[in-house]
Homo-oligomer: A and B are copies of this chain.
Amino acid sequence: MHSKKVILCIGTLDSKGPELQYVKNLINGKENFRALVMDVGCLAEAYFDADITAEEVAAAAGTTIEEVRAISEAGPATRIMTAGARKKVQELYESGAFSGVLSIGGGTGSGIAAAVLQELPIGFPKFMLSSQKIVQAGIRKYVGTKDIVIMPSIADIAGLNRLTVDSLQKAVGAITGMMDTIIPESFEKPLVFMTMTGLSTGCGLAVKSILENKGFEVGVFHTIGVGGETFEELVKSYPVIGVIELGMNEIGNELFGGLASAGPHRLEAAGEIGIPQIITPGCIDILNFLGPETLPERYSDRTICYHNPQATLPRVNADELRLIASTISEKLNRARGKVKFLIPLRGFSSIDCEGNDFYDPVANNAFIDTLQDSLRKDIEILKIDANINDVEFSESVVNEFLKIL
């Protein structure tokens, strides 16, 4: 039947054959679903015939499975299968051959699958059943900036037993449930993207609330590194009419080795596509680290905010703020759309306020002076005598945003 929904099942049929077969049978046993199995194994013969064989995956990478099997190192062999799998899956996706994806594997198999799944768009149902290795190693490399659902397998995915069978059943249940529950909702309001982090939440929620009352839809991104990366990617693929930046901490994190870097291209996408931007120095007074043990020695003499057990935030100093200002200017000077820079003179974050030991107007002035010197002259800088989270500031953000739309 053509009306069956196809689930692409990715795994290594040399080492996880029985598990993939179990999943295939479970899916094919459902009335509305059909499995399409892709083999990414390169150690030995497949346990059963895949719909897309390891031979085809290797061929898509420009080689043969025999050559891949002859490579003794796991790294290079895995990279070839990853490249081939990405190419095959992209072709299949473009031809509409499947409408959801399920991967099953240990650390290595999940690594290959992760590279493939991360190529598929946000909203496309993706489920990864993996070993507990990803619990230990962290999921950032596996999910990247995507909405990949992760299930840690409690027992190793090594054979069918009561623990693995339970996980496999739930994995199939979850992906089919995700594919079944797609209720189209119409979103017709103009879409605004906004960044913020914990220390500018007061401003963010106020701006969001005012904009929503005025008929806008607001998507918020949490600037802890992966959030800014996601924001930059999505600005290019969604019909965003403008952006508001209240979380700019990722710039300093990238420059100075903090743990919330969003990579070197943060603050570039909106400028490239030419949509209007309201920029603020929201939260540039901090760098982000996780537990206190992750704070590098070089920041140990700073004023430090222990925000929560997984958020240790050293104060950024004047020299660093100068470099942040020139970096921001360099990016904004290339923007093709309208840009307006709003500065809250009484502090860039909730802790950078009078009475708190993070309050440092001298350092902040180093940022402001450098910004004024380096920013393109037609980009207006507006100074507001308030803290970023004060009502006056959030109202100004909205007013100025509406003016440049």
- Stretch in A181-189, A331-339, A390-398 with 4+ CB within 8 Å of B: A181-189
Task: Convert A123-165 into 0s and 1s, putting 1 for each residue whose CB lies closer than 8 angstroms to a CB of B.
Answer: 1010100011111111110010111111111111011011111
State how many residues of chain A have any CB contact under 8 Å with chain B.
Answer: 83
Instruction: State the oligomeric state as a number of copies.
Output: 2
Q: Are B136 and A260 in contact (CB under 8 A)?
A: yes
Q: Is A175 an interface residue (CB 8 A)?
A: yes
- How far apart are the CA atoms of A309 and B143 in the complex, in Å? 17
- How far apart are the CA atoms of A161 and B179 in the complex, in Å? 19
Q: Is A178 an interface residue (CB 8 A)?
A: yes
Q: Are A170 and B178 in contact (CB under 8 A)?
A: yes
Q: Is A69 an interface residue (CB 8 A)?
A: no
Residues of B within 8 A of A218 (CB): 159, 161
- How far apart are the CA atoms of A179 and B106 in the complex, in Å? 24
Task: Convert A208-227 into 0s and 1s, putting 1 for each residue whose CB lies closer than 8 angstroms to a CB of B.
Answer: 10001000011111101111
Q: Is A172 an interface residue (CB 8 A)?
A: yes
Our pick among B108, B174, B234, B309 for the contact of A178 (Cβ within 8 Å) is B174
Q: Is A259 an interface residue (CB 8 A)?
A: yes
- How far apart are the CA atoms of A227 and B130 in the complex, in Å? 13
Q: Is A169 an interface residue (CB 8 A)?
A: yes
Q: Are A135 and B226 in contact (CB under 8 A)?
A: yes
Q: Are B132 and A230 in contact (CB under 8 A)?
A: yes
Q: Are B181 and A172 in contact (CB under 8 A)?
A: yes
Residues of B within 8 A of A151 (CB): 147, 149-150
Chain A contacts to B: CB under 8 angstroms: 26, 74-75, 106-108, 122-123, 125, 127, 131-140, 143, 145-156, 158-159, 161-167, 169-170, 172-183, 185, 187, 191, 196, 204-205, 208, 212, 217-222, 224-227, 230, 234, 238, 259-260, 290, 308-310
